[in-house]
Structure 1
Amino acid sequence: METLLNDFSPGLFVMQIVILIILLFLMKKFAWKPILKSLDERETGIEDALKAAENARKEMQNLHADNAKLLKEARAERDAIMKSAREIQEKMISEAKEDAKEVTSKLIENAQASIQQEKQAALAEIKKSVAELSIGIAESVIKKELSNKNDQLELVENILKDITLN
């Protein structure tokens, strides 16, 4: 340290201080402003990025809320459509049952009418057959008693009117 003090020169010291002041002045004029400007720009950029991130977070929350709302609406619409489909299905089934009942009752009515017609036809045929048979028998029995055929037919018809068939 003594050598340092021995080599000390006040002129050199003043010169170094002047150079330091000039250097500080030049740094302030040419380097300090751009450095501060760069720092301010960086700070502004970071603040803008934070604001953008906050906005993006808010927008994501809004989108999430919108998605949840749309999902809820879609589920409600799906439920409504399913309910409507079930109602339509039940209506179609009940209509089909009613139609089937109507068709069945018509078929039964037609079958009963057909049976009744067949029964009437059969009874008429039986009556005719019985009448013919009775006429044949009566003709052979009464042939000797009645001379004319008209008298025979009149007698048989009177007898058949008295007899009822079930």
Structure 2
Amino acid sequence: MSINATLIAQLIVFLILVWFTMKFIWPPIVKALDERAQKIADGLSAADKAKSELSAANKRVEEQLSAARNDSAQRLADAERLAQSMVEEAKTRAAEEGAKIVAAAKAEAEQESIKAREALREQVAALAVKGAEAILRKEVNAGVHADLLNRLKAEL
């Protein structure tokens, strides 16, 4: 065989191989590549969509956290104001109660003082009567009277 016949035979075999590849092998490969490209494109669009959703979710979370912080700060301020008012109210009530107790103690001390004065007056009167009785029983003598008056002073 000559070189030309070999070249023609190889050309025919090559063309059959190209035709067979283009007819049966190339379409599934192109189809697989197209499907893969579509999957990659879908994945990229899904990633972009997820990224935008994540950004929106982060923004919503930040807004909610900010609102929660503001709410907790407001509640804390309200609680502090309530506690302050309760403390002031308790101080006022304690001061009023203390004033009542002091007034009651003063009144009681005044009554005790009055009772003690009355008891002292009664004792002085009794001693005066005793002294007068002793003076009247004895005879009128200046020395004896002075002695009785000194004893009376000592008893007072």
Using structure 1 for the length normalisation, give the TM-score.
Answer: 0.73
- Residue 71 of structure 1 corresponds to 65
Is the counterpart of residue 33 in structure 1 residue 23 in structure 2? Answer: no
Which of 91, 104, 123 lines up with 1:129 in the alignment? 123
Give the aligned partner of residue 51 of structure 1: 45
SS of aligned partner of 1:24: helix
What's the % identity of the aligned pairs? Answer: 31
**Aligned partners of 1:32, 1:61: CA distance in 2, in Å?**
43
Question: Does the alignment pair 1:90 with 2:66?
Answer: no
| Structure 1 residue 21, shift from structure 2 partner | 2.6
Residue 78 of structure 2 aligns with an amino acid whose one-letter code is S
Question: How many angstroms does 1:46 deviate by?
Answer: 0.9
Q: Distance in 1 between matches of 2:44 and 2:95?
A: 75
Cα distance, 1:29 vs. partner? 1.2
Aligned length: 137
Structure number with the bigger relative contact order (C-alpha 8 A, sep ≥ 6) is 2
Q: Whole-Å Cα distance in 2 between the matches of residues 84 and 73 of structure 1?
A: 16
**By how many angstroms is 1:118 displaced?**
0.8
1:70 to partner: Cα distance: 2.1
Structure 1, unaligned runs of 5 or more: 1-6, 145-166
Q: Residue deviations 1:45-92, cap 9 Å, x none?
A: 110110121022112202211221121022112202211220122022
Report the alpha carbon displacement of residue 102 of structure 1 after superposing the two structures with TM: 1.7
Structure 2 residue 109 is the aligned partner of structure 1 residue 115: yes
Partner of 1:151: none
Which residue is 1:155 aligned to? none
TM-score (norm 2): 0.77
Give the aligned partner of residue 100 of structure 1.
94
- Structure 2 stretches of 5 or more lacking a match? 139-156
Q: CA RMSD in A?
A: 2.1
- CA offsets, 1:1-52, max 9 Å, x none? xxxxxx652x444433333332222111111101110110111111011012
